[in-house]
């Protein structure tokens, strides 16, 4: 046996020596014809070799690093059969104007084959303001649907059976309030909360890092998120109470590795805070979900998703002591990159979105939103929204991508890129830990500075034409006229929403409103789980702004420190 091993080792060494020699000879020939002035890098400005061989993956062990789909560390996917068992969920992000308009769009999308709903809220709702607040002026219904009271939520889901549909809600600082509204709408339909399925974005840390839509300081904001995780664990077994989001981090200019590292670091922070609350990791971890960006660098994105699963599985098992394999599985939603779309020659955005969607599918996403071609100009028109959905349907039914699981697994390039992104993310974890964790890094501005640096490098490459963006800095159409229909939100939406608030206030019991809001304040002072108190407020038709203000009375405001 020892002799066979020695022969095998000698044979391996001979192969390695021959490979290195052949590679050197090939490279000498290739270099003579290559463009010496051109830099070959990913969208993240990471250098790319001209050819990948077994040399690049010599340290990889199949069972340790790759394995089979549905097997630890889930590099190739979290399910054994992946899309051969069930295609990804086609979940188009949508919401606009009034609740009635959004309801109409949802019925339309469901009639066209969409599998689940994804609610986009307008800016005042995201920031915790009612539509009649002075800071809401001109923004009501513009970038999503306006929600002020339970009345609005009832209208959005009118005629939609919440026991049969999965709903995702993209809301963060006021997330617990919107979840409470959804629970009460279901209650009025006769559907108990344990039957509800869906996802709440509810990731406040990425707001401080990237999107900047916060209300309260970081510590009470995170505790409010732990409230929803605790409440969901006990009462909503089918609901994902958080979707830890890298999407916005990437939209703010991060590299792929930064998106992965900062997102997972945020996720690990929520896990640690939930464990501190007294929750068992295996009770809540299976309902955690993630949300990633699909940018334009095809192979880098696929490698990013594969690295994410591998890192997460190892950390959950080895650091946090999770015993349930479902706790090791990183499940994620993907949205194609809004920052890659352009107002110039907007039809090209159809092509960009299709390629980005394909990378998400080949990377093993569980659900997907494909952006509409007109989203740089306005909310999607009906036609643009339908084309975006049809893009996914073509991918699922006409390309054959569902037939083979992780078809790029084993590619020297993809495996090497997966390992490199993993290593870059691990280096960031070490640095974040050295600086005292994610929340300390937010307070000192470290994560924000890293994003700004990456965004600056990317923009420099575009400005210098090192990176070509078709229709923007090359292949430009002179005197271009935009000839696609643009959705315009009626200014009357704001007046209608203000009237809706007045109606809600006219039918409620003012004494009960005051009592439930004070009970909410006291729960904040006593650091009790706020979800039951928010549900009581919602039942009394308290407005979103009133509930946010009640908590703000206790938690205070947050002003971001200067980022230099």
Report pLDDT digits (tens) over 459-480. Answer: 999 999 999 999 999 999 999 9
Pairing of strands 239-240, 242-245: unpaired
Q: Residue 296 gets which letter from DSSP?
A: S
Kindly give the interhelix angle for 510-525 and 531-539, rounded to the nearest 10 degrees. 170
Average pLDDT over residues 114-120: 86
pLDDT value for 76: 98
Residues constituting the chain: 564
What kind of fold does domain 62-463 have according to CATH? TIM Barrel (3.20.20)
Look at residues 150, 215, 142 and name the one whose alpha carbon lies nearest to residue 180.
150
Angle ∠(212,106,117) on CA atoms, nearest 5: 55
> How far, in Å, CA of 182 to CA of 535, rounded?
9
> Do the beta carbons of residue 299 and residue 333 sit within 8 Å?
no
Average pLDDT over residues 62-86: 96
Residue range 520-548, pLDDT digits in tens: 999 999 999 999 999 999 999 999 999 99
Q: What residue segments make up the domains of the chain, in order of their start?
A: 62-463, 500-555
- Beta carbons within 8 Å of 312's beta carbon, 6+ residues apart: 74, 264, 267, 328, 329, 330
Flag whether pLDDT at 7 surpasses 70.
no
Rg (C-alpha) for the chain, rounded Å, is: 25
Confidence of residue 356 (pLDDT cuts 50, 70, 90): very high
Q: What share of the chain is helix, strand, coil (3-state, %, to 5)?
A: 55, 10, 35
Residue range 313-355, pLDDT digits in tens: 999 999 999 999 999 999 999 999 999 999 999 999 999 999 9
> How far, in Å, CA of 376 to CA of 371, rounded?
10
> How far, in Å, CA of 256 to CA of 46, rounded?
10
Q: Residue 63 gets which letter from DSSP?
A: I
Strand pairing partners for 73?
none
Please tell me the least confidently modeled range out of 5-9, 150-154, 197-201, 231-235: 5-9
> How far, in Å, CA of 91 to CA of 334, rounded?
10
Integer CA distances (angstroms), 499 to 143, 197, 294, 442, in order: 20, 32, 40, 40
> Do the beta carbons of residue 142 and residue 491 sit within 8 Å?
no
The pTM for the full model equals: 0.94
Q: What are phi and psi of 291, to 5 degrees?
A: -140, 115
In 481-543, which residue ranges form alpha helices assigned H by DSSP?
492-507, 510-525, 531-539
Confidence of residue 1 (pLDDT cuts 50, 70, 90): very low
Residue range 246-276, pLDDT digits in tens: 999 999 999 999 999 999 999 999 999 999 9
Buried b or exposed e, range 300-331, using 16+ CB within 10 angstroms: bbbbbbbbbbbbbbbbbbeebebeebebbbbb
- Beta carbons within 8 Å of 267's beta carbon, 6+ residues apart: 244, 288, 290, 312
């Amino acid at each position: 046996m020892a002799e066979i091993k020695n022969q095998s080792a000698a044979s391996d060494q001979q192969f390695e020596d021959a490979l290195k020699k052949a590679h050197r000879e090939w490279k000498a020939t290739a270099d003579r014809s290559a463009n010496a002035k051109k830099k070959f890098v990913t969208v993240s400005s990471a250098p790319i070799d001209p050819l990948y061989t077994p040399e690049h993956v010599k340290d990889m062990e199949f069972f340790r690093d790759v394995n089979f789909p549905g097997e630890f560390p889930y590099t190739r996917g979290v399910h054994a059969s992946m899309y051969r068992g069930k295609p990804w969920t086609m979940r188009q992000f949508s919401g606009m104007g009034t609740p009635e308009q959004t309801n109409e769009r949802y019925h339309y999308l469901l009639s066209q084959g969409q599998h689940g709903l994804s609610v986009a809220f307008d800016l005042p709702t995201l920031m915790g303001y009612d539509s009649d607040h002075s800071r809401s002026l001109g923004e009501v219904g513009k970038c999503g649907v306006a929600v002020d009271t339970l009345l609005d939520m009832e209208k959005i889901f009118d005629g939609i059976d919440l026991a049969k549909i999965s709903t995702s809600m993209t809301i963060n600082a006021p997330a617990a309030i919107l979840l409470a509204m959804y629970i009460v709408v279901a209650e009025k339909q006769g559907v108990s909360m344990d039957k509800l399925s869906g996802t709440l974005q509810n990731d406040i840390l990425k707001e401080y890092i990237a999107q900047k839509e916060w209300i309260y300081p970081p510590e009470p904001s995170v505790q409010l998120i732990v409230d929803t995780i605790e409440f969901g664990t006990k009462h909503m077994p089918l609901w994902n109470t958080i979707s830890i989001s890298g999407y916005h981090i990437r939209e703010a200019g991060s590299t792929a590795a930064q998106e992965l590292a900062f997102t997972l670091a945020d996720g690990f922070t929520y896990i640690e805070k939930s464990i501190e609350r007294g929750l068992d990791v295996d009770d809540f971890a299976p309902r955690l979900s993630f949300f990633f960006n699909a940018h334009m660098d095809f192979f880098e994105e696929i490698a990013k998703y594969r690295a994410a699963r591998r890192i997460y599985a190892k950390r959950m098992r080895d650091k946090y002591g999770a015993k349930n394999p479902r706790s090791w599985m990183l499940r994620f939603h993907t949205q194609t990159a809004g920052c890659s779309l352009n107002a110039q020659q907007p039809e090209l955005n159809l092509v960009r979105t299709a390629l980005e969607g394909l990378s998400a599918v080949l990377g093993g996403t569980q659900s997907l939103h494909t952006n509409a071609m007109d989203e740089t100009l306005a909310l999607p028109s009906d036609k643009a929204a339908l084309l975006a959905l049809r893009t996914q349907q073509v991918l699922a039914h006409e390309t054959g991508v569902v037939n083979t699981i992780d078809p790029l697994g084993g590619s020297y390039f993809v495996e090497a890129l997966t390992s490199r992104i993993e290593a870059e993310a691990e280096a960031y974890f070490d640095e974040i830990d050295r600086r005292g964790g994610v929340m300390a890094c937010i307070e000192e501005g470290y994560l924000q500075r890293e994003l700004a640096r990456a965004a600056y490098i990317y923009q420099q490459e575009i400005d210098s034409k090192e990176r070509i963006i078709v229709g923007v800095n090359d292949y430009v159409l002179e005197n271009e006229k935009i000839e696609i229909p643009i959705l315009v939100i009626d200014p009357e939406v704001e007046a209608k929403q203000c009237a809706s608030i007045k109606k809600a206030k006219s039918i409620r019991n003012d004494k009960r409103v005051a009592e439930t809001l004070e009970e909410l304040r006291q729960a904040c002072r006593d650091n009790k789980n706020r979800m039951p108190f928010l549900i009581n407020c919602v039942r009394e038709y308290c407005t979103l702004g009133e509930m946010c203000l009640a908590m703000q009375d206790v938690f205070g405001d947050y002003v971001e420190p200067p980022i230099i």
